[in-house]
Structure 1
Amino acid sequence: MPTPFRHALAALLLSTALGTPFTFAADVAGVHFDDHAAVAGSDTVLNGAGLRTRFMLKVYAIGLYGPKRADTVETFAAVPGPKRIQIVTLRELTAEQFADALLDGIRKNTSDAEFTRLQPRADEFRAQLLALKSTPSGSQIRIEWLPASGTRLSVGNEVRGRDIPGEDFFRALLRIWLGEKPVDGELRNALLGKA
């Protein structure tokens, strides 16, 4: 039995024996995602990570963190507690490109009535993104659900704008990548740990 396989098997057996879930870190296009992240003082686990490409160009690496792993958007969204969408850009994007892509993803994955309810908060989130002007390659963007206050946008370690209330807004953001019409089907599977 090859040595790396033996080590992985031993780690899996040990985690099972100790009653702890087997977690993993991920490297995506040179970007490392830790297997755990602290969000609002709570421990979260990496649900999955993947690469967003467009016209064969690498756009960003993305990781999804939550209180526990889930393989459907409904299950992931329903678990109470803080969550994080962590994005690292792999090329420079204008803030307008990034904001418009996110808003387009929300529109594609919500009904007209739901989008009407979300519109004021979506516009506020878009304004927060536009204030960035651009996102150079290597920018670290975090979109976090904080149960006590709402959806928080951070770039690097700097919070941008106020927290946007309503878990329905964060769930709409999740559906950009995990909904019925995700930006990329393979990326959706990677974030749900199915890749």
Structure 2
Amino acid sequence: MKRTIFCLLHAALICLVVPSTVFGASLAGVTLPDEADVGGKSLVLNGLGLREATFFKVDVYVAGLYLEQKSNNAREIVASQGTKLLDMKFVRDVDKEKLTEAWIEGFQKNSVKYGRLKDRVAQLNSMMSDVEDGSTMRFIFNTETVEVFIAGEKKGSIEGRDFVEGMLSVWLGKHPPNEELKEGLLGK
């Protein structure tokens, strides 16, 4: 009896001591950690969102937005100077053509500065390739750059504060791919 109580107490203590990064948050069968380390900075998961496409609401990817401090204010997040991370995990195959069309559409709908961003959107699109179910994309947003990673491999960086804000606005602007995605990333 004493041994059983001891084991239960020991298990409860382990649950309290284990860091939250072990647990994470889940959506549509995808689990992302509660925290992420980016260049020595610890970022917290602000929220998870699901990208759905077409009238039939086909699941495309789960995205997680990591910030230095949680926020549910899209404008403040886009305008803030700190490090941010957006992780995308695809739950279906998507060809390069659809990805590049989606980037162009997202920037056009959410950035009044699209004309100035067009060449850099083309640079982003040159980094794209077909993605398979289970593939990942990661975007690290610094004050003046966006670093692009596909399947864990760094594909390049794109310069400019206006590009950083424009790209964040693809998900957090007035016309996101779907409203549930934006709300999820904002932790609502």
Q: Which protein shows a greater Rg?
A: 2
Query: Residue type of the partner of 2:174?
Result: E
Task: Give the match's secondary structure for 2:140.
Answer: strand
Question: After TM superposition, what 4+ stretches of structure 1 lie above 3 angstroms from structure 2?
Answer: none
Residue of structure 2 equivalent to 1:11? none
Given that 1:62 and 1:87 are in contact with CA atoms closer than 8 Å, whether structure 2 keeps it comes out as yes
| 2:109 maps to 1:108 | yes
Runs (5+) with no aligned partner, structure 1:
1-13, 15-23
| 2:34 maps to 1:28 | no
Cα deviation, 1:123-146, whole Å, max 9, x if unaligned, reads 1111111xx2x1000001101113
- Which of 1 and 2 has higher RCO (CA within 8 Å, sep 6+)? 2
Alignment of 1:18-97 (within 5 A): 25-54=24-53, 55-97=56-98
Task: Give the match's secondary structure for 2:162.
Answer: helix
Distance 1:142 1:156 in 2: 8
Q: TM-score, normalised by structure 2?
A: 0.82
Residue of structure 2 equivalent to 1:183? 177
Residue of structure 2 equivalent to 1:158? 153
Given that 1:40 and 1:82 are in contact with CA atoms closer than 8 Å, whether structure 2 keeps it comes out as no
Residue of structure 1 equivalent to 2:163? 169
Q: TM-score, normalised by structure 1?
A: 0.79
Aligned residues: 165
Runs (5+) with no aligned partner, structure 2:
1-15, 17-22
Using the aligned pairs only, state the percent identity. 33
Given that 1:109 and 1:179 are in contact with CA atoms closer than 8 Å, whether structure 2 keeps it comes out as yes
RMSD between aligned alpha carbons?
1.7
Distance 1:36 1:127 in 2: 30
Given that 2:46 and 2:71 are in contact with CA atoms closer than 8 Å, whether structure 1 keeps it comes out as yes
Distance 1:73 1:167 in 2: 16
